[in-house]
Amino acid sequence: MRWNPQTRALLIGASLVCLACVPSLPAQTAAPAPTPEAAVARWNGNGMLPAYDRSAQLVESTAILIPNLSRAGEPLLAQAKQAVLNLNSNGGSQNAMEVHRLNAALRGYLQLLDSMEKPFPLPETTEKQVAELRSLFLRLDAWEMELLRRNQASLRGSDRDNFARYREANAKLSAPNAKSPRVVFMGDSITDSWRLEEYFPGYDFVNRGISGQMTGHMLGRFQRDVIDLHPAAMLILAGTNDIANAVPSEVIESNFESMFDLADKHRIKVIVATVMPVSDYAEGRGMRFIQTQRRSPSRIAALNIWLKQEAARRHYKIVDYYTALADNTGALRKEFSDDGLHPNAAGYRAIAPLAIAAIRDVVKLPAH
C-alpha cells in the first residue's frame, strides 16, 4: 500500500511517541573485575572512609537527576546517610553491621533505579555517576565479606579477649600487701588511658583496661586479669563500647552479672562506675566525632539506671562519673574531653577524687 506524504509523517510521529513510552533499559556498565582476595585483605576501615562518604553522595546526586527517584529513594538515602555517619564516628569504620546497613541501602537503591523509567539516553554525567555507584557497591560488598571473615577469624583465634595484653605484667606482679590493699581498675580505653600511678601515687592500684573492649571481652579475661591478681576490690567501668556496637541490653546486663557473681565468689569487693556521658562538641573535627549517633544517650541513661539498681541489690558501692562529667543537657562537658568520648586531663582530674573516695569506703587504704 502506498501512503501519501501527510499520512507517512503521522505514522512516523506516532512510532516515535510509542518508542518514547517504552521504559529505558538500565545503563549497562562494565562491572569491575572481581577484587583479588589478597588485595581486599589489605584494606582497612580508615581507608574505606572516602568510599562510604562517596556512596551516599552518589545516591543523593543521581536521585536528583532522575525524575521521581528522589522521593521514592528518600528512605534508602536516609538509611545510607545514617550508616555512613555511624561508620565515620570514632571507632566505627570497621563495624560490619554498619557496612551491611550501608550496602543494603545501596543495593535497594540500585534495584529501585533499575526498575524506574528514566530519560533515554541518560545524561552523560548521570550515567557516569550511576556506573561509579555500581562499582563502589561491588567494592563495599567485598569489604563487608572481608569484615565478616576477620570477625570469624577473631572468634576462632586463640586470644579473642586479649589475654596477651597483660600476660607479662601479671606474671611480674608481686603478691598483694595486706597493709596496702590491691584494687584492680577493670575497663576499656577510658581506663586504659588513665595513668593511675600519677593520679594515685603510693597505692597498689592495678590498671587492667583494654581499648575497644566490651563487657563480653572483660568477662572472658576476668579470671586472669582480676581474680588471679587477688585484689581486695575492683572498680569496673564498662558498657560504652557495647552500646556503640549495638549489643542488646540483656546481654550487657548478663555479662555484668557474671562478673559480679565471680567477684562475690572470690570475696572481691566491687565498685561500679556509671557509664560516662558523651557529646558532639567536637563535631567540627569531622563526622567521626559525633559521638551520640553510636552511643545513644538514652541507652547510656538506661544502663546507668540498671547498674545503680543492681549495685544497690548487691550492696555494692556506686561511683557516679556520669553526674560529675555531664553538663545541664546531659552531654559530656566540653572542657572534660577533646573528642566527646574520652576524658582529657581535666576529665580525669574530675573523677579521680570520686574514685579514691569510693575505694576508701570499701577498703582500708594506707594514709598518705
Residue 218: per-residue pLDDT: 97
Q: Which residues contact 133 (CB under 8 A, 6 or more apart)?
A: 55, 58, 59, 62, 106, 110
Residue 195: per-residue pLDDT: 93
**Domains identified in the chain and CATH numbers:** 36-156 (1.20.1440), 164-362 (3.40.50.1110)
Residue 38: per-residue pLDDT: 65
Side chain identity at 363, as an amino acid letter? V
pTM score over 0.75 = no
Residue 270: per-residue pLDDT: 98
Residue 86: per-residue pLDDT: 82
Q: With beta carbons less than 8 A apart as the criterion, state whether 186 and 236 touch.
A: yes
Residue 32: per-residue pLDDT: 44
Residue 88: per-residue pLDDT: 84
Residue 109: per-residue pLDDT: 93
| Paired residues of 272 in beta bridges | 236, 318
Mean pLDDT per 10-residue interval, the chain, length 368 residues: 42 34 36 58 88 94 85 92 84 80 92 86 88 95 87 72 92 93 96 94 96 94 97 98 93 97 97 97 81 93 98 98 97 95 95 98 90
Question: How far apart, in whole angstroms, are the C-alpha atoms of residue 336 and residue 346?
Answer: 5
- Residue with grid cell 560516662, as numbered in its chain: 276
